[in-house]
Structure 1
Amino acid sequence: MISFWNKYRPVLVLFFFLCVSLFIFTRSLRDQLQSKQNYLKMAISSAGYPLQKAFSSAMQVIVSGWRKYLFLNNLEQENETLRRQLAQTQFQLYQLKETQSEQFRMSKLLQIQPELEFETIQATVIGRDSLNWFHTMTLDKGSANGVKKGAAVLNLDGVVGQIIMTGPYTSTLLPIIHAESGVSGIIKISRVQGTVIGTGDGRIFFKYVDRKAILSAGDLIVTSGLDRIFPKGLPIGRIINVQKIPNGLFLEVQIESAVNFSRLEETLIMISPLSDEKTEFSNNGDMK
């Protein structure tokens, strides 16, 4: 072994140094390559940084905008749902108030029904003629309910009009403000008689009153019962203006109806013939 070492020592030493040199060279070359790769990566990264930053910022803006859109869209849907719920609640509240108001008005009619000397049936206005000059109304009761043509119609305030046409379940009302309407009336205090006639434009007059009669604004005119349609003593209206026509035989007396026809909703229709008994009302129009 010693002889082998002594014999080949120079060769072995040279081979060792060659291996070490080769290792060092290989390591150095690898480090250089890695350094170049790192440099290349850094160069590429540096060159692409503005683009990456712009892309990242754009993506952030897009994502943020999309999230805001989804949030606002959901918020709008929730608001729309809440608006519909609020509208429905308000409508239900309106219906409830309207029902309560109608029930109150109907209860008032029920209170006076037993005091009347004739049989009546409650009826509600369900339609009005679209032509203002005609002034007819449709009620929700007809011949099937005992309503007959010519029946008198009234409400809490006084005389409303007369039934001129009936169907099985509806009837047509001719109000006293109609130009073809006529009601026999009498002044409550002075007992001056006349006929209440409408003009078709909402006004009514107390006709055929002697020019010598003494009348005053505010006098209450009630039904006289002479027409055999309306019971005696029902309020028709109050005098608002009295004029003497030159060379005329009669006074021109304008009255204001006791009934507000623009707000008329509930009525009472007479369904029994008049008897000899009369229904009297006090000066202010209340039943006594």
Structure 2
Amino acid sequence: MFSRRMVLVVAVLVLLLLNIAALTVSSSRPDSAGGAAPIALHLTAPFQKGLTATLGWIRSIWHGYFNLVSTAEENKELRREVAQLREQLNGYNELKLLNGRMRGLLSFKEAKARNMVAAMVTGKDASLWYRTLIIDKGTENGVAKGQPVVVPDGIVGQVIEASHRYAKVLLVTDRNSSVDVLVQDTRVRGVLKGGGAGECRFAYANRNDTIKPGQRIVSSGLDGVFPKGFFLGTVSEVRKGVSGIFQDVAVAPSVTFETLEEVLVIMSPEAGN
């Protein structure tokens, strides 16, 4: 019926009342050497001892409780500070990675000695029918339809739409994409078409042309869109049918489109004026 806490409080009160009563009795006869005073002292001493011990125990619990509360608050504050430090560290790591990528783009731009504009990838369309990117540079930055988009790993695609601040890029893996290309070492010419599903096909390769897996494919510069000599991918498979004048050549793109975050848009000659 009664909680442990209530029983404890009642016991403390009883001890306190008994102690007060005993002290009152003993103090009423301060000059008594015998009689009631020794008896009262004999009776009250154990109660005083128990009361003192109980009060000490209660004080220790009380102080312990406040110490626990204080420790809990300190732990909470420390966890908050640790979370903030982790967030700052993550931000520093992101900046470090971004700085490394931007330095790579700058070195590539300087090596190619071309007028290029760096842009951030802000959106991707990975539908079954189209392969496109949205970048954060538009006509106000000189970006226009038809301009090539590249990274140090190779050609990404070309701009197909441009607004004031944004542009859409058609990837070389899109089925509507085509780039005039060469096998780098043998100079065999063909057209690289998007095959969808992250691959490309080397079209119009004569079955008598020597094409082998591992050969590099580069832009020929003859389509008037993509500059000559930019890397596009590596031959991954070659199949020759029993009939037909062309061979079927699969090409693995050099660019990992899933992880693209920054690109370079090659400006038209008039855009640099």
Give the TM-score category using the shorter length.
0.7 to 0.9
**Deviation for aligned residue 1:155:** 1.0
Structural mapping, 1:51-130, within 5 Å: 53=50, 56-116=52-112, 118-129=114-125
- 2:225 corresponds to 1:226: no
Code of the aligned partner of 2:254: A
TM-score of the aligned structures, taking structure 2 as reference length: 0.77
- Per-residue Cα deviation, 1:209-257 (whole angstroms, up to 9, x for no partner): 1222211111111111222110111110111111123434422211121
- Per-residue Cα deviation, 1:146-198 (whole angstroms, up to 9, x for no partner): 10112110011110111122121121222112232222211112121222222
Q: Check 1:63–1:175 CA distance in 2 against 1; reply closer, same or farther (3 A cut).
A: farther
Structure 2 unmatched runs, 5+: 1-28
Pairing partner for 1:207 from 197, 203, 207: 203
- 2:128 corresponds to 1:144: no
**Deviation for aligned residue 1:273:** 4.2
Structure 1 unmatched runs, 5+: 1-29, 275-288
- Per-residue Cα deviation, 1:74-126 (whole angstroms, up to 9, x for no partner): 22322232232223223222322322332232223223324436421111212
Matches of 2:203 and 2:252 in 1, distance apart? 14
- Where does residue 172 of structure 2 map in the other structure? 176
* Higher-Rg member (1/2): 1
Matches of 1:91 and 1:114 in 2, distance apart? 34
Aligned residues between the structures: 242
Pairing partner for 2:47 from 31, 46, 49: 49
Matches of 2:113 and 2:31 in 1, distance apart? 125
Matches of 1:143 and 1:66 in 2, distance apart? 71
Moved more, 109-118 or 203-212: 109-118
Moved more, 156-165 or 97-106: 97-106
Moved more, 109-118 or 147-156: 109-118
Structure 2 residue matching 1:199: 3-state secondary structure: strand
Structural mapping, 1:5-24, within 5 Å: none
**Deviation for aligned residue 1:39:** 5.2
What's the C-alpha RMSD, in Å, of the aligned pairs? 2.8
Q: Check 1:190–1:78 CA distance in 2 against 1; reply closer, same or farther (3 A cut).
A: same
- Per-residue Cα deviation, 1:12-32 (whole angstroms, up to 9, x for no partner): xxxxxxxxxxxxxxxxxx999
**Deviation for aligned residue 1:131:** 4.5
Q: Check 1:121–1:241 CA distance in 2 against 1; reply closer, same or farther (3 A cut).
A: same
Matches of 1:101 and 1:75 in 2, distance apart? 38
Does structure 2 retain, via aligned residues, the 8 Å contact 1:118–1:272?
no
**Deviation for aligned residue 1:34:** 7.2
Matches of 1:115 and 1:83 in 2, distance apart? 48
Matches of 1:264 and 1:231 in 2, distance apart? 21
Matches of 1:111 and 1:163 in 2, distance apart? 23
Q: Check 1:179–1:63 CA distance in 2 against 1; reply closer, same or farther (3 A cut).
A: farther
- Where does residue 4 of structure 1 map in the other structure? none
Structure 1 residue matching 2:107: 3-state secondary structure: helix
- Where does residue 245 of structure 1 map in the other structure? 241
- Where does residue 151 of structure 2 map in the other structure? 155
Does structure 2 retain, via aligned residues, the 8 Å contact 1:177–1:198?
yes
